Amino acid sequence: MREPAGTPLVEVRDLKQYFNINVGLFRTKPLKAVDGVSFAINRGETLGLVGESGCGKTTVGRTILHLYKPTGGQIFYDGKEIVTKADIRSLYTKTAMVFQDPYSSLNPRMTVADIIGEPLDVHQMYKSKEERQEKILDLMAKVGLNSEHASRYAHEFSGGQRQRIGIARALAVQPEFIVCDEPVSALDVSIQAQIINMFDELQRDLGLTYLFIAHDLLVVRHISDRIAVMYLGKMVELAEAKEIYDHPLYPYSKALISAVPQPDPDVARSNQRITLSGDIPSPLNAPSGCPFRTRCVYATEQCAESMPAFEEVSAGHFVACHRTKEING
CATH 3.40.50.150 describes domain 10-94+175-327? no
pLDDT given for residue 62 in this prediction: 96
pLDDT given for residue 320 in this prediction: 95
The partner residues of 12 in beta bridges, in order of sequence, read 39, 75
pLDDT, tens digit, for every residue of 23-68?
A: 888 889 999 999 999 999 999 999 999 998 889 999 999 999 999 9
Total residue count of the chain as it appears in this document: 329
pTM score over 0.95: no
Write the single-letter amino acid at 165: I
Average pLDDT, the chain: 90
**CA triplet 147, 211, 163: central angle to 5 degrees?**
25
Domain locations in the chain as residue ranges: 10-94+175-327, 109-174
Q: What proportion of the chain, given as a percentage, has pLDDT over 70?
A: 95
Q: What is the CA radius of gyration of the chain?
A: 21
pLDDT given for residue 4 in this prediction: 45
pLDDT given for residue 328 in this prediction: 87
Sign of CA dihedral 214, 217, 223, 224: positive
pLDDT, tens digit, for every residue of 225-276?
A: 999 999 999 999 999 999 999 999 999 999 988 877 666 666 556 667 777 7
pLDDT given for residue 1 in this prediction: 44
